[in-house]
Structure formats: structure tokens, C-alpha cells
Amino acid sequence: MISMKELAQHCGVSVATVSKALNNQSDIGENTKLKVKKAAEEFGYYPNAAARSLKTNKSYNIGVLFIDEANSGLTHEYFAAVLEGFKVEAEKQGYDITFINGQIGKRKVPYSDHCKYRNVDGVVIACVNFDNPEVIDLLASKIPVVTVDHIHENCSSVLSDNIKGIQILMDYIYEKGHRKIAYIHGQGTTVTKARLTSFYRFLESHKLSIPEGYVLEADYLDVTQAMVCTKELLDRKDPPTCILYPDDTALIGGLNEIRARDLRVPDDISIAGYDGSRISQLLNPRLTTISQNTADIGMQAAKKLISTIEKPKTTFVEQIIVEGELLEGESVGNANIS
């Protein structure tokens, strides 16, 4: 790779002119810009990241804070897919990605300090404990931030339409004749609150009354907890005809408990998941679930964050809602009301 000085010599201009052309500054002619950019592309010239940062006061580096409490990391299918959509759009707009953590070398540091150390222009925050003081500190800093699936007053957020997702799922289940519907929901996050409120609103609007014990909690992705909750529901004198699960993975625990009792899905009991994960359509029967548009969620988060970085005075703080889609599958059958 040639140096900037060599590129300038080849084009017959000064090093300063090359810098201005590559940074698209307005005080040089368009023909000169095109000549320099064409030569840079031809010879594979890339400006040094540190030098570019000094010139533009930007690193073209975006931080990703992603700490999954279930310790599934990038095997977390939903958030991994969201981050892939984010990465594709960020790279398309010329940004690199750096994962933010709580240490520099072997020394423990706050997330905000790691962001400064890595000189990121902004941060996307996904799947963290938003009550963590270090996360709160980062959200209160001057670093541009966008959150995924969490609403915060200081920054924009991109969310799957969890309210509509549950409504669509419940509409489908109701049309199949189910009235005894149980819901095993996730722990108390923004996502869970939206889904649970939508569930109760549906019951209210359709004048459905269910026992209090029909609504139970299990951690997201926790197969064991979902199995225990399913056991509790099936042991009732008045078991439900359909059970909703917090996600497609946790549902597998419920499915195992159902099959251990020699019950069939959906002939004896119906079940529904959430997320539209790859495994949901590989199971037998294929799951009825809500497929979340992870690629669009990630893309929208990247676009919003880069807009906040590049146009801070004209970019609104807002909530961007991305709709999902019902995958009918085969796990919700007609209700057995005998």
C-alpha cells in the first residue's frame, strides 16, 4: 500500500490537497477530487485510522455493548442476528465495530472509560442489565447511544413491535377456539412488560377470564424453568388448552414435559413460541411463533446511531418500531373444548 506522500506525487498535488480530496472538503475542485479518489482506489490507498481521527475528530468506530445475562453470547440467536444486521449497515456506511467490555488489559474499568479508550464515535446497547450503574453512567454520558429493545429517555431506541406481536399471536390462537390460554413470560424487561400488557389487554377486550395461576415467569432461553412451569400448568385440575412461551428455545423445555406425559402437540395441547428462530421451523411439529425482523432491527439501529453521530443537531430522539410476522406453523390446533 502506498503512502499519502506517494499518492500526492503520483497525482501532482500536495499532501494537503490529497487529504482534502479524500475528506471531501469543498475548497478544492471536483476534478481534483475525482483524480485523487480514483488514484487512491487504483493503488489501494487507505488513510491511517489514527491520522484520519486527528483530521476529522472521528474514529469511524462504533462500540457494541452486548452482555447476555444467560451467558449465551453470540450464540443468542435473536441478538446475534440483530447485531449482524447492525454490522452490515455500519460497514456499508464506512464504520468499524468494536465490542465494549469492562476492562482494559487486566484492569477493570467502567464501560464509559472503555468507550473513551477505544475512541468510539457512538455505542449501540443490546441485551444488558439497564439497572447496572455502569450502563446508567454510559447512558448519561455525552457518547451517542442507541438501545435495542429498551426505551430510555436520553437516547433513541429500536424495538420489535412486541405489543402487536402478542396481539397477532393471540388473535390466531383465539380463532382456533382457545379460551383457556396460559402464558409463561420472561423476566421483567421492557420487552416482557410490553408483551404481558398486550396479553392482558387481549383478555380484557375479548372478555376472557383466566385463573391467576395461568400466568407464570421463566427466564428467557431457560429450558429448565419453562419445563417446571409447564409441569405446574399441566398438573392443574383445569389445565390450559394452549400455552405461550417466552421464546422458541424455552418452549423446548415445555415440549419435553408435554411429551414425557405422552401428550401430543397440537392434538392434546397447543403451544406457541416467540422470535421465529431457525430451530422453531425445524422442530416437529413446526412451531407457531412470531418471527422478529432482526435484519431490519439491526439496520435501523445502525442508521439511527450514525445519524446521531453525524447530524447531532438535526436528529430526533425517537422510538423506531419494527413489525414482526406470524409463522402459523403446526403447533396450534383447534381447541378441544369437550
In total, the chain counts a number of residues equal to: 338
Amino acid sitting at position 196: L
Calpha distance 95→310 (Å, rounded): 12
Calpha distance 338→333 (Å, rounded): 14
**Residue 8: per-residue pLDDT:** 87
pLDDT higher than 60, residue 109: yes
pLDDT band at 41 (very low <50, low <70, confident <90, very high): confident
The answer to whether 61-159+295-320 and 162-292 have equal CATH topology is yes
Give the CA distances from residue 285 to residues 182, 227, 266, in Å, rounded to whole numbers and listed in that order: 20, 18, 8
Name the maximum alpha-carbon separation found in the chain: 88
CATH number given to 4-56: 1.10.260.40
pLDDT higher than 80, residue 236: yes
pLDDT higher than 80, residue 73: no
**Residue 24: per-residue pLDDT:** 77
97-114 mean pLDDT:
90
Beta-carbon contacts of residue 324 (< 8 Å; ≥ 6 apart): 160, 161, 164, 165, 168, 276, 290, 291, 292, 293
pLDDT higher than 70, residue 66: yes
**Strand pairing of 325-327 and 289-291?**
antiparallel
Instruction: Evaluate the CA torsion angle 127, 133, 135, 140 in order and state its sign.
Output: positive
CATH number given to 162-292: 3.40.50.2300
Residue boundaries of the structural domains of the chain:
4-56, 61-159+295-320, 162-292
Question: Which CATH number among 2.40.50.180, 3.40.50.1980, 3.40.50.620, 3.40.50.2300 corresponds to the domain 61-159+295-320?
Answer: 3.40.50.2300
